[in-house]
Structures are given as structure tokens and as C-alpha cells.
Amino acid sequence: MPANVGDTVRVHYTGTLEDGTEFDSSRDRDPIEFVLGSGQVIPGFDEAIRGMEVGETKTFTIPADEAYGPRRPELVHHMPREHIPEHVDLYPGARLEARDQGGNRLLLTVVSVSDSEVVLDANHPLAGQDLTFKVELVEIR
């Protein structure tokens, strides 16, 4: 039976970027589990699983616009160093959590640090990237 909207599926996957760099994989852990059509995964991933059967493998690419969207320069912020508590370990690549004025959670990546300024990027780390996935449908419930 093929996987359909509303089914709970378990999938092993390996995700790579255009240059072949692997950004994530479930191969060394349990497969991911989600309900098709529920919005738990990016839409292109969900759609690619629909119609697959247990044991089937597939490779597909999701364009950046259908994955995490384009990189948005307005989400890169230059902040005075003194606005960040001293106990926070700042280095390029560090991930920080903050809240916006509405109380919504923001995940930020430190781009650069100087004595006077910290550059923070609120774009998703995979924004602007086409994502290729190799998947295996392990189970349908």
C-alpha cells in the first residue's frame, strides 16, 4: 500500500547540498516519524514520500524556495557587543536563542565578533540552499 495523507510514516534519509556536503542524516539513529500532510516536515519532503511503498528508496531535490526559502539580508543584524551578556560564549558559528518583541523564539547564528560588534544571522542555516534527499520508506502505520 502506498503512503497517503494522514498516514504515519517512518523514513530514513540523508540530506545533501548542491556540492555534495551532507547536512543531516538519520542513518545512525532511528528513522524520523511524521504524519503525511500534517506540516511536520518541509512541504517538498512530505510530498515526495506520498505514494511511496515500504522498502522503496527515492532521491529528490527540493529547491530553496520550497525548503527554507531564500536568504534574506534583512535578517542579518549588527549589534553592539555590550548588548549581549558577557557570560554568552560568542564565536562564529555559535547558535543563540533570543526572543523578538512579540515574545517569539528566534534562533540566531553568530557570523562574526569584534570588541565592539556582534553580527547575528536569523536566517535558517539552510536558507538559500537547494536540498537533495535520499530517502527510504521504512514503515507506514
Out of 3.40.50.300, 3.90.1150.10, 2.40.10.330, 2.40.30.10, select the CATH number for domain 73-121.
2.40.10.330
| Residues 84-124 pLDDT 10s | 998 999 999 999 998 888 999 999 999 999 999 999 999 99
What does residue 23 show for φ and ψ, rounded to 5 degrees? -105, -20
Query: Angle at the Cα of 120 (from 111 to 87), degrees rounded to 5?
Result: 95
Per-residue pLDDT tens digits for 36-91: 999 999 989 999 999 999 999 999 999 999 999 999 999 999 999 999 998 999 99
Give the residue carrying C-alpha cell 517538498. Answer: 44
- The CATH number that domain 8-68+127-140 falls under is 3.10.50.40
Segments making up each domain of the chain, as ranges: 8-68+127-140, 73-121
Specify the pTM.
0.83
What pLDDT was estimated at residue 124? 94
